[in-house]
Structure 1
Amino acid sequence: MSQPRVVVHASPDLLAAAVAARLVTALVDAQATTGTASLVLTGGRTGNAVLEHVRDLPARDAVDWSRVDLYWGDERFLPAGHPDRNETQARTALLDHIPLDPARVHAMEPSDGRFGDNPDAAAEAYAEILARNAVAYGSVPVFDVCLLGVGEEGHTASIFPDSPAVHEASRTVVAVRDCPKPPPTRVSLTLPAIRTAREVWLMTTGESKAGPVAQALVEGDEVAIPAAGARGAEGTRWLLDTTAAAQVPASFLPPKA
């Protein structure tokens, strides 16, 4: 697993703009190497801001969006089209504005979908989608970039501290119940699935995130701070604004010029 690299931006908007530019470059580079690209999306304020910036970038058209496979790191188990679903927000922010191949957009099932109000069945179905798109005998595709947020208690995707999901060692997707923040029921990738990504980018802003960010980097206890367990096979980036980085030890920060 890769060692984390911390990048600090002056404001949330600058962070989102910089990540958007970095993301377009990463997708172009992946397509130049393999012909396709695979991206895991996240929700939340920062994740959606990144997608909005991608939408507005002139360079976005350097990506052949018809050859990008899109997945989600987690989803709120709500009816299709619900404004709080990560899929709904991603479509508004970017996906409805670019020429995607619908067959390559792999959304998680809603609570009024094929399996009704059964998040376990929805999780199993998503695991099957991942396995079908995996290379050779893998259980998940080769994700080029996995975007993730970080919560105030250190959760990432919908993996919360000392929850059944954070202890999951074999399944790639799980149903999550009794989440400490609404909605209580979700579907999420697990840490083993996340760690297959080539690069994991953890994005967060705000003073309330400073403690968990520093704890994740210094202590690395994924049970207490699940974001600490989100690491890429080739690269792990913590993309922070100045307030979220306020407690990060200097040894983790890039040297000042």
Structure 2
Amino acid sequence: MVEAWAEKRVVISPDPSTLAEAVAARFLSRVAKRVDEGKLAHVALTGGSMGSAVLAAAARSPRIEKIDWSGVHFWWSDERWVPQGHDDRNEKQSRAALLDALDIPAGNLHVAPASDDGLDLDAAADVHAEQLARFAGSEGPWPSFDVCFLGVGPDGHIASLFPDRPEILVTDRSVLGVRDSPKPPPERLTMTRPVINSSKRVWMVIAGADKASALGLALAGASYASVPAAGAKGRKRTVFFVDQAAAANVPPELIDREY
């Protein structure tokens, strides 16, 4: 069983605040290294409290002034199908936490369509897929994200890929419309599993005792159809950054104390 888990790392912080600071520092280091090499950095952001907390921690760092953000492109692994400017939009939360503080070209923020943009949900998915295809790489008609941030729900969902639903099984599309989501709002846009798994690094950031069961199942090799987090895997790294409360069910041999 340990061999099956070998590519997954678990890094534990004592509490959510320390967790956010630690992940933010790693994120800034990774982005800085990439752009200093003269390469574009593509980053997929996520919503939720920890997603925003990591970005807010990054915003507090003086290092953001030393990074050439013109070489960084931001995307979102999923978005809520609500109007522009709505508080539920992941984009708005990310802007408030970090993006509005950056000196970054507007064209580097690849925002998914909103419900008041004059498109239906499926057409919006197609439009967003076309945005991704503009940066097609060797892995498919989408960029290979240098870092793909993901939250994990208590049910094990990632992005808007929920357990035991058809979206988690789709492999021939890059973006899907989600209807009747088990978590409000009921309609969403989500990247599919092939897009997520073409990322160089998948970083799942998890805090809270209510996530311990989902984390344990993801590490134990559960079916990704029933526990989507179990199927998220970066090509170079797959790291679960967690707080102590979420780590209750993590076997000691999976904890990376040096990464």
Q: For this structure pair, what is the TM-score category when the shorter chain's length is used for normalisation?
A: over 0.9
Match of 2:253 in 1: 251
Q: Secondary structure at the match of 1:24?
A: helix
Residue correspondence of structure 1 range 173-184 to structure 2 within 5 A: 173-184=175-186
* Distance in 2 (alpha carbons) for counterparts of 1:137 and 1:207: 36
**Separation of aligned partners in 2, 1:73 and 1:32:** 25
Judging changes above 3 Å, is the alpha-carbon distance between structure 1 residues 170 and 34 closer, same or farther for their aligned structure 2 residues? Answer: farther
Give structure 1 stretches of 5+ with no counterpart. Answer: none
User: Residue 56 of structure 2 aligns with which residue?
Assistant: 52
Instruction: Provide the C-alpha distance between the structure 1 equivalents of 2:189 and 2:231, rounded to a whole number of angstroms.
Output: 18
Q: Give the aligned partner of residue 127 of structure 1.
A: 129
Cα distance between partner residues in 2 of 1:174 and 1:136: 21
Q: Spell out the pairing of 1:162-201 with structure 2 (5 A cutoff).
A: 162-201=164-203
Question: Is the 2:11–2:257 Cα contact (8 Å) retained in structure 1?
Answer: no
> Which stretch shifts more, 187-196 or 58-67?
58-67
2:104 to 89, 100, 103: 100
Matching residue of 2:93: 89
Please give the root-mean-square deviation of Cα atoms over the aligned residues, in Å.
1.6
Match of 1:11 in 2: 15
Alpha-carbon distance between aligned partners in 1 of 2:66 and 2:232, rounded to the nearest angstrom: 29
When structure 1 is superposed on structure 2, of 231-240 and 244-253 the one drifting more is 244-253
Aligned-pair CA distance for 1:127: 0.8
Measured in 2, the distance between the counterparts of 1:215 and 1:221 equals 9
Amino acid at match of 2:15: S
CA shift for structure 1 position 33: 2.9
Identity of aligned residues (%): 42
Q: Tell me, in whole angstroms, the C-alpha distance in 1 between the residues paired with 2:91 and 2:139.
A: 28
Query: TM-score when scaled to structure 2?
Result: 0.94
SS in structure 2 opposite 1:22?
A: helix
Whether the 8 Å CA contact 2:79–2:190 is kept in 1: the answer is yes
Give a deviation string over 1:65-109, Cα, whole Å, max 9, x none: 121111000000000000110001111111111111111110100
Instruction: Tell me which amino acid in the other structure corresponds to 1:31.
Output: V
Equivalent residue, structure 1, for 2:27: 23
The C-alpha deviation readout for 1:22-80, integer Å capped at 9, x for no partner, is: 00001011113343211101010000011111111011223211211110000000000
Q: Which residue pairs with 1:159 in the alignment?
A: 161
1:174-206 Cα distance to aligned partner (Å, 9 max, x none): 011111111011000111110111000001110
Matches of 2:95 and 2:174 in 1, distance apart? 24
Distance in 1, Cα, partners of 2:49 & 2:105: 26
Q: Which amino acid aligns with 1:110?
A: A
**TM-score, normalising length: structure 1:** 0.95
Shift of the alpha carbon at 1:135? 3.0
Contact 2:85 2:92 in 1 (8 A): yes
1-structure distance, mates of 2:252, 2:139:
42
TM-aligned CA distance change 1:85 to 1:255, over 3 Å:
closer
User: Counterpart in 2 of 1:139?
Assistant: 141
Native 8 Å contact 1:198 1:234 kept in 2: yes
Tell me if structure 2 keeps the 8 A contact 1:203–1:238. yes
8 Å contact from structure 1 (residues 15, 240) kept in 2: yes
In 1, Cα distance between the equivalents of 2:133 and 2:28?
Answer: 26
Counting matched residue pairs gives: 254
Q: Is the 8 A contact 1:67 1:101 kept in 2?
A: no
Amino acid at match of 2:49: R
Q: Secondary structure at the match of 2:44?
A: strand
